[in-house]
Amino acid sequence: MTDTSYLDTKAVDAWLNVHLEGYQGPSEAQKFAGGQSNPTFQIRAQSGAYVLRRKPPGVLLKSAHAVDREFRVQSALKDTEVPVAQMHILCEDDNVIGSAFYVMDMVKGRNFDDPRLPDLAFEDRKPVIQEMNRVLAAIHDVDLVKAGLSDFGPDGNYYQRQTDRWTKQYRASETETIEDMDALMVWLEVNMPQDDGQRTLVHGDYRIDNMLFSKSSPACLAVLDWELSTLGHPYADLASVIMQWGMAPGTEGRGLAGVDRKAQGIMEDQEFIDAYCARRGISEIKNFGFYLAFCCFRMAGILQGVKKRALDGNASNPERALKMGRHVPEIAKDLLEQIVFEARKSEYVDVKSGVSARLSITAFENLLSTAERRLLRSGDDCTSIRMSDFVGIIPAITGKV
């Protein structure tokens, strides 16, 4: 088993003393809590405080844990409206500490891991969410050519590319047969929207706990965790925010399901979407139901990868990783339940129509007929990740926003 909580500070110091101007060891390292992908450490050296983010050691899925891409995109965003930490140096030599890593500034700010923002006063909550909205629009408005990111991702249908990628990633990390995941992958293929030509920078995991805010104002100081960033369709990030908010509140879900947002001073889904559209001059969003379903599928794929790394001994937090991995069947099952519910109600299966749409609905009804699709309750506590929590947050799977 590989210990992802350990960092060889002597090796780090020796390399940084040579390659990073102004760096002076010796240093001490402390691993940040949370996070299941790339282990991240606070480095306290004689020359100051830094953050080191590394690939996990051991055998990894191809294209996963791309710290080099994280370093590149954050370096490119330095002079844009997107707040990021100051990048210092990238080390791609696995011989130094066993895997690639990069070093950046330690940004001292507030991190909100609960979108309910319980530590803020009522009047201070909405400005933080508005800032989150502003930064999201800024990410999607980055001039790719000026930032040197025009080749940061391939051309073509982003959703087709990402669905193919996460299907392969899921298959590579599959630990058991989950029929609902198989059915969900078929549904995504059948209902794939045509490419509408939008191509922007996409964060890939945009949520409030991946942001650092000023301690004295709602200003965002840095957007973190760019591992999944690429060039693609901007609505994937927007749908990801709405998906996250549709989960149950708590440690794992970190959502807003069941929360009286008006009473708490927090923006509703539609208000957030409208503000985003106003910032970017968008009059209408079509196929939003598909974008939500895609985000749910991608999250299931990520959680399956987390589970596989835990079983292989490479997880950053093995106990939490295994707990998170248990949600994969629930995600697929509840999402299919919602898809069929909306399909029955509206006779609509996203972009497909006519006979093929009706056949698609019938096929999924047959798949689901072996067991009653009741809302899942894990019994752990209110932290279970359930796609059933999405019911009612928007007209899901109808494509209307």
Question: Which stretches does DSSP call E strand in 205-337?
Answer: 211-213, 220-223, 230-232
Nearest to 326 by CA among 389, 252, 255, 249: 252
Residue 249's pLDDT is: 84
| In the predicted structure, residue 191 carries a pLDDT above the cut 70 | yes
From-to residues of CATH 3.90.1200.10 in the chain? 122-390
Higher pLDDT, 61 or 99: 99
Look over the chain and give the mean of its residue pLDDT values, rounded to a whole number.
Answer: 80
- Cβ neighbours for 77, distance < 8 A, ≥ 6 positions apart: 84, 142, 147
CA dihedral (255, 259, 265, 266) positive or negative: positive
31-45, 128-142, 167-181, 313-327: range with highest mean pLDDT? 128-142
Q: Mean pLDDT over residues 309-331, rounded?
A: 63
- Mean pLDDT on 1-30: 88
- The boundaries of every CATH 3.30.200.20 domain in the chain are 9-105
The DSSP H or E segment spanning 289 is: helix 288-312
**25 confidence band (pLDDT: 50, 70, 90):** very high
Contact 242, 275 (CB under 8 A): no
CB 55 within 8 A of CB 38: yes
More confident call, 47 vs 332? 47
pLDDT number for residue 270: 92
The answer to whether residue 356 scores a pLDDT higher than 50 is no
What is the pLDDT at residue 88?
98
φ and ψ at residue 195, rounded to 5 degrees: -65, 125
At 314, the pLDDT band (50, 70, 90 cuts) reads low
**Is the separation of the CB atoms in 247 and 257 below 8 Å?**
yes
3-state helix, strand, coil in the chain (%, to 5): 45, 10, 45
The dotted CATH code for 9-105 is 3.30.200.20
The CATH code for residues 122-390 is: 3.90.1200.10
Share of the chain above pLDDT 90, in %: 52
- pLDDT, position 160: 94
Which one has a higher pLDDT value, 158 or 321?
Answer: 158
pLDDT of residue 111: 95
Instruction: Please give the distance of CA 42 from its chain centroid, rounded to a whole number.
Output: 22
CB-CB neighbours of 172 under 10 Å: 14
Average pLDDT over residues 346-358: 37
- Residue 353: which pLDDT band, with cuts at 50, 70 and 90? very low
For residue 11, what are the CA distances in angstroms to 8, 18, 27, 51, 99? 5, 11, 10, 16, 12
Could you tell me how far CA 5 lies from the centroid of its own chain? 22
Quick one: how far is CA 373 from the chain centroid?
27
- Say how many C-beta atoms besides its own lie within 10 A of residue 77's C-beta: 23
What is the distance between the alpha carbons of residues 396 and 349, in angstroms, rounded to a whole number?
A: 11
What's the CA gap between 138 and 281, in Å, rounded? Answer: 12
